[in-house]
Amino acid sequence: MSVRVARALRGWGWGAGCRRGASDFRLPPPGAVDVAELLRDATTAEEGPREAVARRPPDQCSVLLFPGQGSQVVGMGRGLLRYPRVRELYAAASRVLGYDLLELSLHGPQEALDRTAHCQPAIFVASLAAVEKLHHLQPAVIENCVAAAGFSVGEFAALVFAGAMEFSEGLFAVKVRAEAMQEASEAVPSGMLSVLGRPQTKFSFACLEAREHCKTLGIQSPVCEVANYLFPDCRVISGHLEALQFLQKNSSRYHFRRTKMLPVSGAFHTRLMEPALEPLAQVLKAVDVRKPLVSVHSNVDGNRYLHPRHIQKLLAQQVVSPVKWEQTMHALYERKRGTEFPQTFEVGPGKQLGAILKSCNLQAWKSYSNVEVLAQDGDPDQDP
């Protein structure tokens, strides 16, 4: 752990080995403390929280999904400011980040919010603020939560919600991750291409031919590979811009139904992000990671985390590994025929994860809803 990281974390009262109340900064992590208290209240001294919750009927349990980069939009957070502790979260975030995150989230400009260094912390905080809204409006959803998952940076929010790490530690890790990924993105012209294919589409073969094309252009060690598994026949491919342009130009050859460049700055979840590995791994060593109070599923393999060291290892590995979201959805919602599905709530900006869930598991999607983070018609002005 670098001296700079250690000092930064201790400055907010959440350094390695620090506990809540160690400094004047006593803001509890959103969701995590509430979950712990509610789960303890629901159990006896002889039983653990997960076992007690699991005995509830499946349709009375809940799953929380936390969105990732690309869901950001100017105005997010305005629909949350009336709820307890949300302004405290944004005030604490500004102290961690060194800039006014709430002002940026509410008023933009969109170009600034879209920068990787800004949008990842903005989505992280907005998602946890949405948990506060959900807890205020439907506390039973938090009490009955049995699992959580987050897409890419959303995984950090899911872990904070589940009590695996404190809010400020998680946000500082996201800050380091976002800035390192931004820097890695600027080193090589690269991007991400959303591809809707067909059953006969061979994504790996298409990526191979795109890499061969790049070699003819003189690009050394070209990158073009699947970075996100979204739902059947839908993938996001990351790599050098020349490779993605080749795939768009030859989409009919590979049976692509539709392609679209994503508004991101680089080839996330590929080896082009390797420069971001060490900064993130170092800061994660400083984070006091604990076992989640509810199951949290990893992007790297779709399975739930088993222990704190597992979390620290896979959170770093996630930066250069594909997001296996389709596999995560199968793991979350696998059940015997006739068993009811839990309620699913998307906490954070947008409804993208709901749309993916609908394509992965229509029956599970029928119990889906999202927590609105934008101001709705008739809401009073909630600006600071």
Positions marked active-site:
152, 269
For 209, other C-beta atoms within 10 Å of its C-beta total 17
Q: Do the Cβ atoms of 139 and 132 come closer than 8 Å?
A: no
- Hey, is 268 helix, strand or coil? coil
CB burial readout 217-226, b (16+ within 10 A) else e: eebeebbbbb
Q: Do the Cβ atoms of 253 and 212 come closer than 8 Å?
A: no
Rounded distance between C-alpha atoms, residue 236 and residue 194, angstroms: 4
Beta bridge partners of residue 324, listed in sequence order: 229
**Token pair recorded at residue 206:** 């298409």
Rounded distance between C-alpha atoms, residue 266 and residue 272, angstroms: 8
Rounded distance between C-alpha atoms, residue 248 and residue 204, angstroms: 15
Amino acid at residue number 213: H
Please report which residue ranges of the chain form alpha helices under DSSP H: 3-11, 32-41, 49-54, 86-97, 101-107, 110-114, 116-137, 139-143, 154-161, 167-187, 203-216, 241-249, 277-286, 308-317, 325-333, 352-360, 362-365
